[in-house]
Structure 1
Amino acid sequence: MKWMAAVIGLTILVVLLTLYEWPKMDQHQKKEKTAFVTITAMGWLLAILLLFFPDLPGPTQMIDKLFKPLGRMLEKK
């Protein structure tokens, strides 16, 4: 039940953030609103994932795994 309270708390926080920021955006700013919704949803999803999987690797660890082989190849030449 502790995780449920955390999920509800995060959801309420995201809703409050959206209710605060949405009216400040101009009605004709479609791209900005789309970007706001996308980034907010991704942040909410990441927060929920970190609740259930706290040992989830961070973005820097993912970049290290992707670019370490490339770095080794460039060092050899």
Structure 2
Amino acid sequence: MKVVAIIGVTVLLLILILIEYPTIDHTHKREKRTFATLLSLGWVLAVLLILYPEMPGPTHLLNLLFEPLKKLL
């Protein structure tokens, strides 16, 4: 079942690329690079959440970082 979800996310990503990527002007190489990077990071995070749904979120990391500060206040 997880394979189907990963394929679904990949298909959505490909549709997004087919629609949005050609609309970016060919002279804006930096924008295209940024688009590809953010889309790739989003895909990796989506696949990780599909494979490991119990993975802690970013708020868990913030709680770990600021827990000592909370004790001081």
| TM-score normalised by length of structure 1 | 0.82
The number of residue pairs the alignment matches comes to 73
Shift of 1:67: 3.2
The 3-state SS of whatever aligns with 1:31 is: helix
Which runs of 5 or more structure 1 residues have no equivalent in the other structure?
Answer: none
1:63 corresponding residue in structure 2? 62
Deviations 1:2-27 (A, max 9, x none): 11111111100000001110011010
Rounded Cα–Cα distance in structure 2 between residues aligned with 1:3 and 1:23: 31
Report whether the alignment pairs 1:35 with 2:34: yes
The 3-state SS of whatever aligns with 1:10 is: helix
2:16 counterpart letter in structure 1: L
Runs of 4+ in 1 over 6 A off after TM superposition: none
Task: From the superposition, tell whether residues 73 and 45 of structure 1 become closer, same or farther in structure 2 (CA, over 3 Å).
Answer: same
Task: From the superposition, tell whether residues 63 and 21 of structure 1 become closer, same or farther in structure 2 (CA, over 3 Å).
Answer: same
| TM-score normalised by length of structure 2 | 0.86
Deviations 1:9-55 (A, max 9, x none): 11000000011100110101111111111111111111100111101
